[in-house]
Amino acid sequence: AQTVTQSQPEMSVQEAETVTLSCTYDTSESDYYLFWYKQPPSRQMILVIRQEAYKQQNATENRFSVNFQKAAKSFSLKISDSQLGDAAMYFCAYPSGTYKYIFGTGTRLKVLA
Amino acid sequence: EAGVAQSPRYKIIEKRQSVAFWCNPISGHATLYWYQQILGQGPKLLIQFQNNGVVDDSQLPKDRFSAERLKGVDSTLKIQPAKLEDSAVYLCASSPGSEQYFGPGTRLTVT
């Protein structure tokens, strides 16, 4: 069965520092996408970054980057120069064959001023 | 480009009452999803539409939940009768392919 695991229920980071959120998944497929979504207190899910499994290069979007290790089925999110507005729940998501998303349980990120 | 619209944003009802949520996806997005997100958990897919056909409703409690997507655009999700455990945020998302774009959600409280 396809699963997504986020082992860190909560993380804290000092403003302007770097933090890494972990995600592992299980799939037998060879070509797929992976996503990180941010959910602030307003509850709206916002797409942060996506990775295509066939691409060896790690995706980057401004201060957000991923460390994608296909063989290890690991997909971590690195946030550089953390800002107060980064405080939110972060969900890792894997879309199955019909693009049905399987979400992890989420990591709550706190940013300390 | 307008995002996914949902209404109402908040709803409080008593158990055994009925409630309906509405979703208007991003124009041109063929796929529409309804998720239930209980506090402290990740979203759980309730139903997935492709145009006006159902792709996956395996986790929809069909004895009380129903959803439709007439004309392949707007969608409504109904709960009848509601139970206390239905208290959650109901998220609608639409997609042109692999990426999903979410609406602001409807927070339902059942008392």
Angle at A25 between CA A61 and CA A21, to 5 degrees: 45
Indicate the pLDDT class of residue B1, thresholds 50, 70 and 90. low
Tell me: pLDDT of A16 over 80. Answer: yes
* Residues in A touching B56 (Cβ below 8 Å): 98, 100
Q: What is the Cα–Cα distance from B58 to A14, expressed in whole angstroms?
A: 42
Provide the 8-state DSSP code for A59.
Answer: P
Q: Residue B85: helix, strand or coil by DSSP?
A: helix
> Quick one: pLDDT at residue A1?
67
Instruction: Tell me the per-residue pLDDT of B57-70, one tens digit each, with 9 for 90 and over.
Output: 999 999 999 999 98
- Min Cα separation A43/chain B (Å): 6
More confident site: B84 or A98: B84
Instruction: Tell me the per-residue pLDDT of B56-107, one tens digit each, with 9 for 90 and over.
Output: 999 999 999 999 998 889 999 999 999 999 999 999 999 988 889 999 999 9
Integer Rg of chain A from CA:
13
> Quick one: pLDDT at residue B40?
84
* CB contact set of A82 (below 8 Å; sequence gap of 6+): A13, A14, A15, A16, A17, A18, A19, A63, A111
Q: How many CB pairs under 8 A join A and B?
A: 55
